[in-house]
A and B are shown apart, each in its own frame.
Chain A
Amino acid sequence: MAKVLLKGNEALAEAAIAAGCRFYSGYPITPQTEILEYLSWRMEEVGGDFIQAESELAGINMVLGASAAGARALTTSAGPGFTLKQEGISYLVAADLPAVIVDVMRIGSGLGDIAQGQGDYWQMTRGGGHGDYRTIVLAPNSVQENANMMALAFDLAEQYRHPVLIASDAAIGQMIEAVEIPEFIEHDIDKFDWTIKGCKEGTPYKKIQNVYYTDPQYDIHLAERYKTIEENEQRYENYCVEDAEIVVVAYGISSRVSREAVDIARSQGVKLGLIRPITLWPFPQKAFEEAKEAKAFMTVEMNILGQMVDDVKLAVEGKFPVEHYGSIFEIPESDGIVEKAKEMLKEVK
């Protein structure tokens, strides 16, 4: 398929259709509303179902019903709306149901603001809702990746029978880039044996409910599933990490600025490298094995508290200083990252 110019949000929506998603329910909130708007006409064209729900709560529970019935089901939101979805995400987890939930992050707690942010990292990687779970989180950094990650997200969701989150942000959602929409996939709602579709008399009927009610080995099932995901699903992209003395860790739009910072720093003789987590959970600890010359690490994030710092500290097992270069409302500047790297280098040398 030829490349087309699309907004990040539109590319994500079209890619959901391409990935065989035929059920969407969402609620308007900036900066993800284009996904809702796009699917309001596109679902109609492909014979799928689109519902503008009365709230995020209703939207996520519609997704749960659609998923239990076998559809590839999607809902999208941002910050405050994403918080309302946590109830349903926790229930999806408890019932072993797949679904894809997108958070096009904005800045701040409470209402915050509509500017791009990366302040939902803790919420997305630590569970978000009540209970004993974590979700796979994919973090695209371009319009093309917004498109590429939809099919992957649905595949992973079905493979592990678990909701998968996509951590986009206002910058990626709103920017326009050339994008190639992936090939269309047909999804069969009768593909899996666990979906509800009605049962003939005398055959076992299906119960979609908390798995620990029905599985006496629940504790083992739960522990093994997350262990398998941690082992198999770490995704990352390393750039100039092997000989780097300072390593930036950044995802999403911040990773693109950071990559630019690496080039600037290297042109000035500063050995800067970049680890870019593509999965925020499981956190790509394997990526750090390559950082053999590193003396210090720095996360670059669009938040003030440095939400990813803890994960980097765990990845380096506390052996190196881990600092944070943050921004609010603005995307971090590459020059600022380089300056920070130079200061850090002075301290560790």
Chain B
Amino acid sequence: MKLKAPERITFTQNGFCPGCGHGICGRLIAEIAEEMNIADKLLTVVDVACCSLHMESWQYDTIMAAHGRPIPTAIGAKKVRKDNPVIAYLGDGAAYSIGMAEMMHAAIRNDNIICLVVNNSLYGMTGGQCAPTSLPGQKTTSSPYGKDPSKAGMPFRIEEAFSGLNIGYMARCSLATAKDIRVAKQYLKKAFEKHMDNKGFCLVEIMSPCPTNLNMTPIASAERITNEMTKYFPVGEFKELKEEE
């Protein structure tokens, strides 16, 4: 059993809040890159705000893209550096709101990038506003009476929107418990493997706690994923292009 943290990541430099899931995401990416022996080549493109704090904690060549544009930015980089694995790393607001068109068309073209969407059900860095992933009734700084689905719609489910698209891989995982994190690593690793096999658009949504903006303890915000978020956002693998496809 490996207890040593991956070489490419530092936990002293990052600016994440206590109980935040981004740090776990970073560690999982670094572990997988090390295990697959691709750390020297890995290129990452992060969204602004919380996602961009990874630039200080992981040691990969990284672009900080405009808000909602890590996907097209990553596509541009991948076209030029075809032998390098390329990750686009963004939040649910970037992926499912401002960057939805770019997300959808990358999937339609099945562009060969890894796309990691961290879903914490709100906008983090700006102070916890309502997102397309916010749950019905969820009180946020921009939905103080609770999110009203009759006005703001139901939480957006990517697996429903992309079900007809022939993409390389699509899964959703959770960072709520140690067991969930082990599953998350399996899904993430599969996305990396499919990417290295040039299977196309490999998407993993990662449900992640945001205690600061939920105004909860780290434990309560992790339990909220299990007790509330998974009712709307099922964990599982939804798409997988096999060898013969």
- Residues of A with Cβ closer than 8 Å to B? 22-23, 25, 49, 51, 53-55, 57-59, 61-71, 73, 87-88, 91, 95, 189, 196-201, 205-210
Contacts and interface: CB of A to CB of B under 8 A. Distances in A.
Contacts of B69: 57-58, 61, 64, 87-88
Contacts of A91: 65-66
Interface stretch (B20-28, B40-48, B173-181, B206-214): B40-48
16 contacts: A23-B76, A49-B79, A57-B69, A61-B65, A62-B75, A62-B76, A62-B79, A69-B81, A88-B69, A198-B60, A199-B40, A199-B61, A201-B40, A205-B60, A207-B64, A208-B62
A189 B7 contact: no
Given A51-B75, A199-B59, A207-B55, A65 B66 contact: no
Contact of B80 (A71, A199, A207, A210): A71
Interface string B54-72: 0100011111111001001
Given A196-B43, A208-B62, A209-B63, A62 B80 contact: no
Given A57-B72, A205-B61, 10 more contacts: A62-B79, A65-B45, A65-B63, A67-B76, A69-B79, A91-B66, A196-B77, A198-B42, A198-B61, A207-B55
Contact of B63 (A54, A88, A196): A196
A62, A67, A209, A210 interface centre (most CB from chain B within 10 Å)? A62
B59 A53 contact: no
A62 B62 contact: no
Interface of B: 7-8, 39-43, 45, 52, 55, 59-66, 69, 72-81, 84, 101-102, 104-105
Interface of B: prevailing SS: mixed
B72 A209 contact: no
Nearest to A205: B59
Given A198-B43, A205-B59, A64 B80 contact: no
Contacts of A23: 76, 79-80
B76 A69 contact: yes
A61 B69 CA distance: 7
Contacts of A199: 40, 59-61
A66 B104 CA distance: 20
Contact of A66 (B40, B66, B77): B77
B101 A65 contact: no
B62 A196 contact: yes
Nearest to B109: A51
A87 B48 CA distance: 14
Nearest to A210: B64
Contacts of A58: 69, 72, 101-102, 105
Contacts of B63: 64-65, 68, 95, 196, 208-209
Nearest to A70: B80
A124 to B, nearest CB: 20
A25 B61 contact: no
A65 B73 contact: yes
B61 A64 contact: no
Contacts of A206: 61-62
Closest 10 CB pairs of A and B: A65-B76, A69-B80, A196-B61, A62-B76, A66-B76, A54-B105, A209-B64, A65-B73, A198-B41, A65-B77
A66 B105 contact: no
Nearest to A66: B76
